[in-house]
Structure 1
Amino acid sequence: MKTVGIFNDTSTSGHFGCTAVMNTLVSELERRQIKPAYLWPVGLDWQPYTAKLEQAEPDMIIVNGEGTIHHSTERKRTRDLLAVAPYAKSQGKPAHLVNASITALDASAIEALRAFDTIHVRESESRQYLAEHKIEAQIVPDLSLGISAPKPAETRDGIIVTDSVYRDTAQGLKNFSDLANANFVKMKKRLPFQARLISKIQRNIQGSPASTKWRPRSDVEAFVRDLAGKELLVTGRFHSVLLSILTDTPFIALPSNTRKIEAVLHDALISGSRLISPNDLLSQKFLAETRRGIPFTSDELEALASYRTNAKISRSAMFDLIADSVL
């Protein structure tokens, strides 16, 4: 069996969308007889631990670019992950960047990207950005679409509201949920103290934050089942939008910290009609619209079905390519 070093295991945050992404990533690799040599957690600098990581001797390296490859001048996390590619090259290991949205990189970050053997981005705006820098990339929609969708609800009822990466927008969404008598859910659950303590003890024993076996930290299946029974989602979260696309749940979205939501809406629906600004959120007009319902049109449902089909095809091709990078 081949082995892989996976960087940026975002599921350690407890975020529902990140759990879905990592579930797909690990399971698709396992189907191709590839198991993790290690999984490096989100937000931690791996470079002080290179000697420890090299002991695992992975056959290849994968970087989960989710939520990370942007604004490299201000974000050390971006620079740390991009440094993986030149490092992998120095070790003679193929390196693959997957599930990325990419924008606003400085010259050194762009140069580091060139060391990846393959780059797969989540939407067309990122591919266009890279093309402007003469870097080739393929589009594979977000890996959260790879988890199993629940059986469609016979009847949908109620509104679900999820939060935002922006504190003010998250508060606005909470205020809207109160006015609309809607269920408000934070996408990122704080892990219990005991789980955090166990993780810290394990790191001290192992001498490294890396793990060798993936486990979910949040119940994304329960969240998706709940979502699939709702008439409408209102959200500022990218992965809430993707899981709505997975379950054919009508949604209204607010912008996030990059244009990733706008880009996905363009790719999936060729429209920004389901995007509003934070200023619209508490307007009487929007509240009245949500009370009447904002269902998908037949054209939207057809477009989303096509988007999911294309995502499945491109996802399979990407993992086949990764598997074939090591004989």
Structure 2
Amino acid sequence: MLPSYPSVEDMVSIRPLDFELLRNEVVTDLHYAPSFGKHQNLQQQIRMLEHEFSGQSRLKLVHATLNVLLRRDIEVDNVYRQFRRLWAEHGDLLIETLDSRWLISACDSISDHSDDSCEASNAALCSLFMNTLKLTETERLITASAKPDPTRVAGRTPLFDGMTAFLPTSGDMPANLLKRLDRRLSPETLIGLIGRELVSRALSADTVFSRLAEWQTNHFWQGYLFPRPAPTRVLRRSVTPANPQPTTAEPSRPGYILLNDTGRLGDSFHFGTVYACCAIRQNLASLQWHEIGWANDRARFDALLADAKSPPTLVVLNGEGTLHHGAARAAELLSICAHAKQLGMKVAIINSVWEDNPSSMEELLKSADVIPVRDSQSLASLPAGLSATVTPDVSIQLFLRTLRKGSFLPPQHEIGVIDSVVPRNSAALLRFAERADARFFVMPIGNLRKTRNAVAERSGHVWPRLLQATDLMAAKAWVTGRFHGLIAAVCAGIPVCALPSNTKKVEGFLHDAGLAEACLLDPTWTDAPVLQQRDELARRFETQQSAAFIEHREAYLETAEMKINQMFGAVARLGF
């Protein structure tokens, strides 16, 4: 079934789409399957696209659908207006999460419909560059020799009509071409932003550029265009109003406010936290709860209460990785819960770590009616006498649904590497990826630009990318410093090793699951020689492919799903 919002009628309407809402929704209606070909029937085409974007931000599906509508000349003026507004407000997400196919599609739409002839021409040139590369790589797949021999090109080797072959080792054509592109593709323009990303991906992938670069002895070129900051106005998203409007009241359903919507913190995007918040919303909706709104601070919470037609019955605090080490923001969220309790609302503090918090926060915690923490170590850290339970991270439910049941393409890479919230560990993981020639991914957008700048400043050869569900399934094994990277790989059934994080959440999860011996890396791993690091990972990955390990992992995940369902049942009963 296609989602009720946005429908095709919404997309062709003059009314602006709610892109902020769509950014934080995950497509879960259908199982993943790569799309191929074209359906004459529009609804069948959109359904095929929904399969392709399963497990990903719904904003990406909307972008693809807008491009389809433009190709079919359906309400072009309105659709292109939505398309440009989407890029103006959420270009930060699209530029990092769309694959090259859909970035090229965006170039084609701009080339076809932009009123700016210079912009349209530049868009056509970006599309030409990438599609010519596509033809080159396709021809290579069909005809290339299994044994490359650069000596077959020596001196002036004719191709056609006066064109001569590029001279490996010393030719300067690619370096000069890339210098010109670097000058022309300005991140101050939309097409420059897209073009720079496309060229960088082409340079860092297994293409003619990276293969020829291996033979160069002079006139070198990098595996990316040097990152340059884009002006805020190009990537600015809609600003949330100071007085957010609650959603339409539904008298037949009790209402709740979600505290700590981690997917909306700052200007970032982290598909693990988006999964967690999406799982909370989907479960409560299925249990007949109505979301009045979300708040990440006291000001927004008070604004929601002031504008609500009827007071909420329940406040749900998504504790996630927030309630630790006496953080000021954690204390503020707990004080909101205590205030809600005084106003007569029920309070559920769920999906939380709890570590090294002061007695003042422990006192605020007592306002909660239910307190399911994520692991046994958090449970042991709670104040004595407090009634609480352990329920594994709620994102497990959504990861299992999207990653286990999809028809993903076979893995293309031996190992993938994910960054860490701990800067030292993140640097060590990046160093390992470079030495091991592995792909490196960052989970929050906020860290991506910073990591790319650090790589470029020292001429590193790994081009970091923002992790998506399809990336996760494209590697045979993972090493990660991120809690949700670990969760996702375990749920996908992919071997994974993890470093400790800024709290004991990684250790807590792995010890509760009985997987620590095979998956948990000692912190000293970061300082070991790369061959020793690889050997350690290989040994652990082999253990994780044993029948005993798989049986234990699957039993834990089955129990985790059951506990998550039971927890949401207990939360739902607070309103009845």
Q: Which TM-score tier does this pair reach, normalised by the shorter chain?
A: 0.7 to 0.9
In 2: Cα distance, 1:244 partner to 1:191 partner: 21
* Aligned partner letter, 1:301: I
In 1: Cα distance, 2:551 partner to 2:410 partner: 20
User: Among 533, 537, 550, which residue is 1:286 paired with?
Assistant: 533
Which one has more relative contact order, counting CA pairs under 8 Å at least 6 apart? 1
Cα deviation, 1:220-239, whole Å, max 9, x if unaligned, reads: 9x822332342211111111
Offset at 1:278? 4.2
> What's the TM-score once normalised by structure 1's chain length?
0.83
Alignment partner of 1:31 is 2:260: no
In 2: Cα distance, 1:128 partner to 1:102 partner: 9
| Residue matched to 1:164 | 420
The structure that has the greater radius of gyration is: 2
SS in 1 for 2:312: coil
| Residue matched to 1:233 | 478
In 1: Cα distance, 2:538 partner to 2:368 partner: 48
Alignment partner of 1:253 is 2:498: yes
Cα deviation, 1:196-220, whole Å, max 9, x if unaligned, reads: xxxxxxxxxxxxxxxxxxxxxxxx9
| Residue matched to 2:522 | 277
In 1: Cα distance, 2:410 partner to 2:387 partner: 44
Offset at 1:3? 1.3
Alignment partner of 1:2 is 2:258: no
User: How many pairs align?
Assistant: 293
SS in 1 for 2:354: coil
Q: Percent same amino acid among aligned pairs?
A: 29
Return 29-38 or 264-273, whichever deviates more.
Answer: 264-273
Cα deviation, 1:223-276, whole Å, max 9, x if unaligned, reads: 223323422111111111111111011111111011110111111125344222
Alignment partner of 1:183 is 2:439: yes
Compared with structure 1, are the counterparts of its residues 270 and 288 closer, same or farther at alpha carbon in structure 2 (3 Å cutoff)?
closer
| Residue matched to 2:549 | 300
* Aligned partner letter, 2:535: A
Compared with structure 1, are the counterparts of its residues 263 and 256 closer, same or farther at alpha carbon in structure 2 (3 Å cutoff)?
same
In 2: Cα distance, 1:234 partner to 1:191 partner: 18
Compared with structure 1, are the counterparts of its residues 48 and 28 closer, same or farther at alpha carbon in structure 2 (3 Å cutoff)?
closer
Q: Is the 8 A contact 2:254 2:288 kept in 1?
A: yes
Compared with structure 1, are the counterparts of its residues 247 and 49 closer, same or farther at alpha carbon in structure 2 (3 Å cutoff)?
closer
Cα deviation, 1:22-44, whole Å, max 9, x if unaligned, reads: 11111111111212101114xxx
Correspondences of 1:151-230 after superposition (within 5 Å): 151=406, 156=411, 157-190=413-446, 223-230=468-475
Alignment partner of 1:60 is 2:307: no
* Aligned partner letter, 1:294: F
Q: Is the 8 A contact 1:122 1:142 kept in 2?
A: yes
Structure with the bigger percentage of helix: 2
Q: Is the 8 A contact 2:518 2:540 kept in 1?
A: no
User: Among 553, 560, 567, which residue is 1:318 paired with?
Assistant: 567
| Residue matched to 1:268 | 513
User: Among 9, 19, 22, which residue is 2:274 paired with?
Assistant: 19
Q: Is the 8 A contact 2:497 2:540 kept in 1?
A: no
* Aligned partner letter, 2:423: R
Cα deviation, 1:101-149, whole Å, max 9, x if unaligned, reads: 101111111111111000011111111222x522111111101111123
| Residue matched to 1:143 | 394
Q: Is the 8 A contact 1:94 1:117 kept in 2?
A: yes
| Residue matched to 2:340 | 88
Structure with the bigger percentage of strand: 1
> What's the TM-score once normalised by structure 2's chain length?
0.48
Unaligned runs of 5+ in 1: 193-219
